[in-house]
Structure 1
Amino acid sequence: MTTATEIAFENTFVRDLEGLYLPWEAAPAPEPRLVLFNEALAAELGLDPAALRTPEGLGLLTGTVVPESATTVAQAYAGHQFGNYSPRLGDGRALLVGELVTPSGERRDLHLKGSGRTPFARGGDGKAPLGPMLREYLVSEAMHALGVPSTRSLAVVATGEHVMRDRGPEPGAVLARTASSHLRVGTFQFAAATGEIDVLRRLAEHAIARHHPGAADAERPYLELFRRVLGVQAELVARWMQLGFVHGVMNTDNMTISGETIDYGPCAFLDAHDPATVFSSIDHGGRYAYGNQPGIAQWNLARFGEALIPLIDDDSDEAIRLATEVLGEFADCYLAARDEGYRAKLGLPAGLAAGPLLEDLATLLADGRPDHTLFFRRLADAARGDAGPVRELFDDPSAVDGWLASWRAVEPDAAAMDRINPVYVPRNHLVEEALGAAVVDDDLEPVQWMLQVLSHPYDEREGYERYARPPGDDAPPFVTFCGT
């Protein structure tokens, strides 16, 4: 058995990007206890699950015992938070341990969230409560099962100490998560703000080599990097919208260069389809409402383009012109990804001009506010001839009849729809119920059941009906908190 301290890490981020991190060590974890462990992911990473369950393994997962091959650092980045620029954010409560090269040749970061204060902590305690770490584990693994590019969760380890939050003391925990990298738009903003073009260039070269190698062959590789990041983010946000996912805190430091979903703080899934839906307790103005997410993505990408200006062309006016031209491609990229996704969700035949059908659908959903997940899942019943389950989602069932008639006339493929429209998503009320049981009663069974159900979101199974149901009409409004 390869012990945890013998695991081979690489450190290209540290090697290539001096000036964009600070070497740092994790805070002690007095009594580490493994709460959740993703054995399947460990195997994908080429790690020995048995080794990670040992005291040395728990030390690795909390950052307190690391191999000589690893160099733990807090990454530096800036960012626009709710539209306001902060020049120095960084990993205030997290550490990058290093990079694992998987048996299939992929490079994955191992990153520890809740590992203690760093110089970027900005007055915070650097710790994480158990509840939000379980939330990130649960939702990120659900997103992975749904086919959405995402960071993934390897383990949650309770530290044996309590952290103080507004609601009182809560058990502390560290989340060990993986990603193809933790490079963010905010990383580029920080590099650009240094005023040292060499730092910015090294970062761009690192990002191209790691995520978008094809950009290296372009006439203008840094402009092509911008275009490719724009493309993967357009596709990512389109997937969010199709699934009814609300990120909740789309700051520029939470937008990855890889196109993976990152930082599951005040996130949630729609019940009723309402573009104005906001779940975050701190989003008082609704900046990151469900319906605003495509526009915010484009706004964030404009900040990315601004950071790249010194690299795109020596003439800043020409660089701005070129970057603006690329930014203008976002709408077409997003709309193409959105419409293709909805064509699949509706089981439409290839080649069909579906524009009017999709436009009428958007109006129908916004006006009728049916349950988002159930509406698309039950459409397959309507395609097979039984429209009753869909009609009952509307206060006025007849409101959907005209659209259903137009849609059914094109002979949608019900079997294909079953493969793309989930039965199960992390229902907000069930997530809260499961987290409450884990944190308050030390009962992990509800979380384990949810993980089992959500790992196969498209397979309807007898006995799991409660996981597909929305909350009752008398349920209070759902609110999420980021846990910092």
Structure 2
Amino acid sequence: MPVSPDYRPEPAFFDLGPGFGDAVRPAAFPETRLRFRNHRAAASVGLDALSEAEWIAHFGRFEPLPGQPGPIAMRYHGHQFRAYNPDLGDGRGFLAAQMRETPRAQAASDRVASGSAQSGRLMDLGTKGSGTTPWSRAGDGRLTLKGGVREVLAAAMLEARGVPTSRALSLIETGEALERGDEPSPARSAVLVRLQHSHVRFGTFQRAAFFGRADQVETLVEHVRALYHPAVAPGDAPGLLAAIVDASARLTARWIAAGFVHGVLNTDNLNVTGESFDYGPWRFLPGYDPGFTAAYFDHSGLYAFARQPEAVFWNLTQLAGCLKLVAEAEPLTEALNGFGPAYIRELRAAFLERLGVKSLGEASDQRLLDATLALLREGDEALGWEPVFHDWFTGFSSSARALAGPRARLYQGETFDAFRFALFEHGPDRPERLEHPVFAGPPEDLLIDEVEAIWAAIDASDDWGPFEAKLDRIETLRQARG
């Protein structure tokens, strides 16, 4: 049997009809060499029973999974660096399948929309590099192997740091030589499959609004409400916007707590479930730097680290503008105004989670957030971003370890004293986690120099050892932090 009994197909987006996507044919690749298979992610949707040959058939040649109608390129528009582009859409990817999460995966998730617990979350399989579509424009519809490797690494580390994210399910090298202007050519090629809660983007609504299709906006509102935010009442577009605002605030706060810069926060790169996805020029911070950018072409710093909340809010206002076709402006504005308070609330929660301590209430939690940011700011790259969360995990319990460690000399002075006082007010959350061997070693980071070194080993000698070892360490970190 090619799939397990837990596999439950539900191609809901496909049922919306041709106004929202186009049936496409996947590329015929000259070879299909499996380079990465996410067994844990596969098990969460009942695909862990596939043999390697079946895996390649479904995720390299894209033979439809049972109960799936075949791939569609999703239609959407978007603002790219705040310039509207009506020529977007899935240009080198498609929606391959949708299925429900297994009961076991559902029980383990703390990111479930209220009301979906009985049926399991609806999950998408989306591709990157699977060939041309009607929306490819002048592109070749392909993905470089390096780009695929980078996405696998980014998604794994973000999950380990508590960020709602897509997961890389599969990476298959495809044997084509690609020409690229921003990296050495010819480049090796690959096709990636990601697993995430939804690929419905803000830009999906923008396309319907661009054509004045209030009926399509209403269809999307009901589709998204029923499947992803079922606590919202039918037809309540402002209520749906408020739910998306909350989810987006949570995502943005967790990017900041993780020290992550997405790089390209266009409206087609934000979705209705508040998940991070589509990793191009991403970076993790080496140290506190509000102006740190990930994309070499972001000359104005529009999507710099500290401007990410502003960018997400601006994108939410574009979504609200689309909903004006089916709702009054005042309740939509009220929903948008919830972003600021939600973001601050979620930022406090994200920093407490990263530090492994319990909440004491808004005032005390805010003091700890402010003190942590002050310590990170003063420490700059000398201290780094990630070491603080590693050294002081679970608070007071880490004192001896942190003050005897390699960064002990940086933990002194008034700024550190304020941080330590605020931290020690908070009791440890599950302090037994500190017994994991990962906390006896150095922090597990993912800075650009290491990413380039991992790729260099693959590129120069087809050595996948460093890539696989890094993923093993990231998975160990995820388990250690619980």
Q: TM-score, normalised by structure 1?
A: 0.85
Q: In structure 2, do the counterparts of structure 1 residues 349 and 73 end up closer, same or farther at CA, with 3 Å as the change threshold?
A: closer
Asked whether 1:330 is paired with 2:339, we answer yes
Structure 2 partner of 1:65 = 63
What are the equivalent positions in structure 2 for 1:30-49 lying under 5 Å apart? 30-49=30-49
Q: Which amino acid aligns with 1:340?
A: A
Counterpart Cα distance in 2 of 1:357 and 1:57 = 47
8 Å Cα contact 1:17-1:202 kept in structure 2: no
Measured after TM superposition, the shift of residue 344 of structure 1 is 4.1
Aligned with residue 221 of structure 2, among 204, 219, 234: 204
Counterpart Cα distance in 2 of 1:221 and 1:39 = 39
What are the equivalent positions in structure 2 for 1:71-150 lying under 5 Å apart? 71-104=70-103, 105-150=120-165
Measured after TM superposition, the shift of residue 189 of structure 1 is 0.6
8 Å Cα contact 1:17-1:203 kept in structure 2: no
Q: Which amino acid aligns with 1:358?
A: L
Asked whether 1:307 is paired with 2:327, we answer no
8 Å Cα contact 1:235-1:338 kept in structure 2: yes
Say which is worse superposed, 33-42 or 340-349, in terms of deviation: 340-349
Measured after TM superposition, the shift of residue 340 of structure 1 is 2.4
Aligned with residue 158 of structure 1, among 170, 173, 179: 173
Q: In structure 2, do the counterparts of structure 1 residues 78 and 353 end up closer, same or farther at CA, with 3 Å as the change threshold?
A: same
Q: Which amino acid aligns with 1:362?
A: L
Q: Which amino acid aligns with 2:192?
A: L
8 Å Cα contact 2:173-2:190 kept in structure 1: yes
Q: Which amino acid aligns with 2:12?
A: T
Measured after TM superposition, the shift of residue 400 of structure 1 is 3.4
Measured after TM superposition, the shift of residue 60 of structure 1 is 1.6
Counterpart Cα distance in 2 of 1:391 and 1:72 = 52
Structure 2 partner of 1:403 = 418
Counterpart Cα distance in 2 of 1:390 and 1:305 = 49
Q: In structure 2, do the counterparts of structure 1 residues 290 and 393 end up closer, same or farther at CA, with 3 Å as the change threshold?
A: farther
Counterpart Cα distance in 1 of 2:30 and 2:426 = 61
Q: Which amino acid aligns with 2:58?
A: L
Measured after TM superposition, the shift of residue 203 of structure 1 is 1.2
Aligned with residue 376 of structure 2, among 365, 369, 373: 365
Q: Which amino acid aligns with 1:292?
A: R
8 Å Cα contact 1:371-1:393 kept in structure 2: no
Counterpart Cα distance in 2 of 1:439 and 1:209 = 45
Say which is worse superposed, 354-363 or 82-91, in terms of deviation: 354-363
Aligned with residue 192 of structure 1, among 204, 209, 212: 209
Structure 2 partner of 1:440 = 460
Aligned with residue 294 of structure 2, among 274, 279, 283: 279
Q: Percent identity?
A: 31
Q: Which amino acid aligns with 1:62?
A: G
Q: In structure 2, do the counterparts of structure 1 residues 350 and 76 end up closer, same or farther at CA, with 3 Å as the change threshold?
A: same
Q: In structure 2, do the counterparts of structure 1 residues 216 and 36 end up closer, same or farther at CA, with 3 Å as the change threshold?
A: same
Asked whether 1:374 is paired with 2:387, we answer yes
Say which is worse superposed, 117-126 or 374-383, in terms of deviation: 374-383
Measured after TM superposition, the shift of residue 215 of structure 1 is 0.8
Counterpart Cα distance in 1 of 2:463 and 2:304 = 33
Asked whether 1:243 is paired with 2:258, we answer yes
Any stretches of 5+ residues in structure 2 without a counterpart?
A: 104-119
Measured after TM superposition, the shift of residue 408 of structure 1 is 5.7
Say which is worse superposed, 152-161 or 38-47, in terms of deviation: 38-47
Q: How many pairs were matched up?
A: 449
Q: How big is each residue's C-alpha offset from its partner over 1:31-70, in whole Å with a ceiling of 9 and x where there is no partner?
A: 111111112222221124443x11x531320244335732
Any stretches of 5+ residues in structure 1 without a counterpart?
A: 313-318, 462-484
Measured after TM superposition, the shift of residue 356 of structure 1 is 4.1
8 Å Cα contact 1:425-1:457 kept in structure 2: no
Counterpart Cα distance in 2 of 1:11 and 1:404 = 49
Measured after TM superposition, the shift of residue 392 of structure 1 is 3.6
The secondary structure found in structure 1 opposite 2:212 is: coil
Say which is worse superposed, 167-176 or 38-47, in terms of deviation: 38-47
Q: Which amino acid aligns with 2:451?
A: V
Q: TM-score, normalised by structure 2?
A: 0.85
8 Å Cα contact 2:8-2:46 kept in structure 1: no
8 Å Cα contact 2:79-2:268 kept in structure 1: yes
8 Å Cα contact 1:9-1:70 kept in structure 2: no
Q: In structure 2, do the counterparts of structure 1 residues 216 and 425 end up closer, same or farther at CA, with 3 Å as the change threshold?
A: farther
Q: Which amino acid aligns with 1:433?
A: A
Counterpart Cα distance in 2 of 1:66 and 1:460 = 37
Counterpart Cα distance in 2 of 1:456 and 1:269 = 19
Q: In structure 2, do the counterparts of structure 1 residues 154 and 380 end up closer, same or farther at CA, with 3 Å as the change threshold?
A: closer
Q: In structure 2, do the counterparts of structure 1 residues 382 and 322 end up closer, same or farther at CA, with 3 Å as the change threshold?
A: closer
Q: Which amino acid aligns with 2:413?
A: S
Q: In structure 2, do the counterparts of structure 1 residues 226 and 72 end up closer, same or farther at CA, with 3 Å as the change threshold?
A: same
Q: In structure 2, do the counterparts of structure 1 residues 201 and 375 end up closer, same or farther at CA, with 3 Å as the change threshold?
A: same
Q: Which amino acid aligns with 2:83?
A: N
The secondary structure found in structure 2 opposite 1:66 is: coil
